Amino acid sequence: MLQLKPIEFILRVIPESFLVIFAIYVFSKTTINKKKYLITSIVFSLIVYATRMLPINYGVHMILSVLFLLFIITAYNNIDVVSSIKSIISVYLVQLLSEAINVLILNLMNLDLETLFKSAFNKTMLGIPSLIITGIIILIFYKLNKKKKEA
């Protein structure tokens, strides 16, 4: 089981859920419905929490979360399946890139990550920069899409 501590849920899962849903709207070039965005983000964060509590092997929780995300995005937010899949893949690629940059920076700082990651608070705080990097990349795409619509 990959149980989440409350600090991880509040400081990482909830903001990341809002960012993922926003990114899907951006990558699918769909107009944001604020009510659906809010509901979808909260539901997705609860789904991530619930799947992390299941007694399953590492990695399976991510697949389940992605499948639930795809279902929510297509069924509730009315974004077509192909566009949703492309958007979800794009979001996870941006997150992967952001995590890689964050880990590279942490390694350059010569920190003892194994010791630091034992604490849920430290692990969450050390992961915040990757969330910020992801947010910046998504905002860049959002601004680029906005410029294209105006042109």
Residues of the chain with pLDDT > 90, as a percent, come to: 77
Whether pLDDT at 148 is above 90: no
SS (H, E, C) 43-83: HHHHHHHHHHHCCCCCCHHHHHHHHHHHHHHHHCCCCCHHH
Mean pLDDT of the region 2-31: 93
The per-residue pLDDT for range 85-112, each reduced to its tens digit, is: 999 999 999 999 999 999 999 989 988 8
Return the pLDDT at 1: 54
Structure pTM?
A: 0.93
The pLDDT-based confidence of 49 (bands split at 50, 70, 90) is very high
